[in-house]
Structure formats: C-alpha cells, structure tokens
Amino acid sequence: MRDFNSEKEIIEAFKNITIWKNGDKRAPHKPLLILLSLAGVQRKEQRLVSFEEIEPRLKRLLSRFDRKGNGVHPEYPFFHLQSDDFWEIAGSGPIEDILKSGSKKRSPSAKTLREGHTMGGFSEQLYMKLRDNPELVNQLAHRILDGHFPTSLHEDILDEVGMPWVVTLKKKRDPEFRSMIMRIYDRRCAICGYDGRLGDINLCLEAAHVKWHAAGGPDEMDNGLALCSLHHKALDSGAIGIDDDDRIIVSQEINGSHGISDWFLSYLGKQIRKPQDGQPGVLKEYKEWHRTQVFRGPGRHFE
C-alpha cells in the first residue's frame, strides 16, 4: 500500500486509476466503486465492507451507469482496485490463495469473493486521511464524476451512491429522497405523465426539488416532484412553475418552433398530478419560493 503525504498525492492517485479501455469503450467500474466507498467514508461507515454487502449496490450502479454490453461484474472493481495501491482486500479460502500468490491479474468470481467472506476498502492510512477531511472527499467525488461521467448523470449517480449533490458539509442530502418521490408519484412525470423505462429502469425521470436544495429546500415529500428530465430542467430554469392551486404556469419567455406547444403550452393551467393517496402535495411556501426566486415571470395567461 502506498503512503500518502499530501492531499495532492491523493488527488493524483485517484486521477490515475487505471481504467480499462478498448477503443471508445469505457468501464466505469472503478470510479463507481470509489464513489460508493467515498459515500461510506462520508457517512463514517466502517473502513472495510464485505463483498456480499456491497455487491447488490454496486451491481445496481453498474447496471445503471455502465454500458450494457459490459455485463454486470461487481467483482471486477472490488478485486482489481487493489492494483492502484490504495485499496486492500482480505478473505479466506481460495481468495486467500489468490491474494497470497500476489497475482493481481487473476480475476476471482463473485462466488469466490462471497464464499471467502472477502472484505475490501481503502487502505487504513488513506481512510483516516479521508475521514478527517470531508472537503477532500467531496472534491474527489466531483473529480471522479467530472472525469468519468457526463454532467447530466452526476446527480443521478450521487443519488444512487447516497452522496449529497450540493457540496455543503452541514446539510446532508437524504438518499431516500429520490426513491420516496418516485414512489409517491407512481414513477411518472407530475406534469406530462411520462413514464418511460429502459428495461426496468426509469429513463429520464428525476426527483426534483421545488425549493432548491442549494437554497435550503428540504429532502421532504412536500418539496419534491417526480418529473421527466425536460420538465425538471424547465422547472429549475424557471420556464415553468406551479401556482397555489397546483396549476402549471408557463413563462412568457418560452418560445421555439417545434415541441413548445406539445411539451409546454398544452399543460398551461392544468393541474399537476397528485401524489398517491394521503401523501402531501408540494407545500405552498416552496411553490411560492420557486415562483418568486426562479420562475421567469410573467406567466402566460390562462382560463
């Protein structure tokens, strides 16, 4: 294991994680495992985590953010991140023999890792340095995202690994927010009803904060809406808003020659979908905050 003497060395090491490349194909296995582990450091979880425990989460991440053709192999990064000299693993049985042989080329199966009760995590020295430096953890997470994923996916990835998107160290974002919002809005856009999926994964469907998280909006169901990517961005950009009667308002500034009518004007004055029975809709003060701070009024006339 390497010894880190400065933040700079840690940043360099993370930057240089070896990524398997073949032409334009990418393999974001290691970046995703690192993000998952950084989220664990942030939550002050134990340094070493068993493969069995991390496998389902890593699998989910890989199936969502890796190329489909790569298959889903959480065992690869869990084992091969060792070669970057800041990740250690230990186990028993056949995995112990593989580790003793010092071969980092041989790839044990997920079954071997599971059966050997294999544990993995950052080296002790690195873990301590990260635990004492939350800003560095955030910085590393952002660098990994910037280095490996398009911006439009950053928030989804961070939601999935359970890290706050807005890097304020006091306000932690609730990783349950997304799943809660998706559930109460029945996995449909609250504006247009869109419910597209790719396989069994929601496609272009997001949990939006009406009052921005960055502005102190809470991760509560009365501040969230399930929205398709288009309407989420439109809400965050102030192109649309919601009045006190839950009707959709549309900025006069919105214009264009194609799709504007279908995707915006046809919803003008319509009510947003209500959450499932008994759940609160968006709180009046958050809608009001959005209208005054974000919405690009005046709105188009309706009724």
- Is the Cβ of residue 110 or residue 228 nearer to Zn ion in the bound state? 228
Cis peptide before 56 (omega within 30 of 0): no
Residue showing tokens 């960055």: 214
The residues, any chain, with a CB within 8 Å of residue 150's CB and separated by 6 or more, are: none
Q: How far is the CB of 151 from Zn ion (least distance, A)?
A: 20
Q: How far is the CB of 275 from Zn ion (least distance, A)?
A: 16
- Is the Cβ of residue 41 or residue 205 nearer to Zn ion in the bound state? 205
- Is the Cβ of residue 27 or residue 240 nearer to Zn ion in the bound state? 240
Whole-angstrom distance between the N-terminal and C-terminal Cα of the chain?
68
- Is the Cβ of residue 173 or residue 231 nearer to Zn ion in the bound state? 231
Residue 250 pairs with which residues in a beta bridge?
A: 240
Integer Cα distance of 127 and 147 in angstroms: 22
What is the four-CA torsion angle of 14, 149, 207, 71, rounded to 10 degrees? -100
Instruction: Looking at 71-164, list the stretches that DSSP marks H as alpha helix, in order from N- to C-terminal side.
Output: 75-80, 94-100, 110-115, 124-131, 134-148, 151-161
Q: How far is the CB of 2 from Zn ion (least distance, A)?
A: 48
- Other CB atoms within a 10 A radius of the CB of residue 233 amount to 15
- Is the Cβ of residue 138 or residue 202 nearer to Zn ion in the bound state? 202
Compute CA 220 distance to the chain's CA centroid, rounded to the nearest angstrom: 17
Residue 51 contacts residue 58 (beta carbons within 8 Å): no
Q: How far is the CB of 227 from Zn ion (least distance, A)?
A: 6
The strand ranges marked E within the chain are 49-50, 87-90, 119-122, 197-198, 201-202, 205-209, 224-228, 240-242, 248-250
Q: How far is the CB of 234 from Zn ion (least distance, A)?
A: 8
- Is the Cβ of residue 130 or residue 189 nearer to Zn ion in the bound state? 189
Query: Site residues (CB under 5 A) for Zn ion?
Result: 189, 191-192, 194, 228, 231
Residue 198 contacts residue 187 (beta carbons within 8 Å): no
Q: How far is the CB of 270 from Zn ion (least distance, A)?
A: 12
- Is the Cβ of residue 231 or residue 291 nearer to Zn ion in the bound state? 231
Q: How far is the CB of 263 from Zn ion (least distance, A)?
A: 7
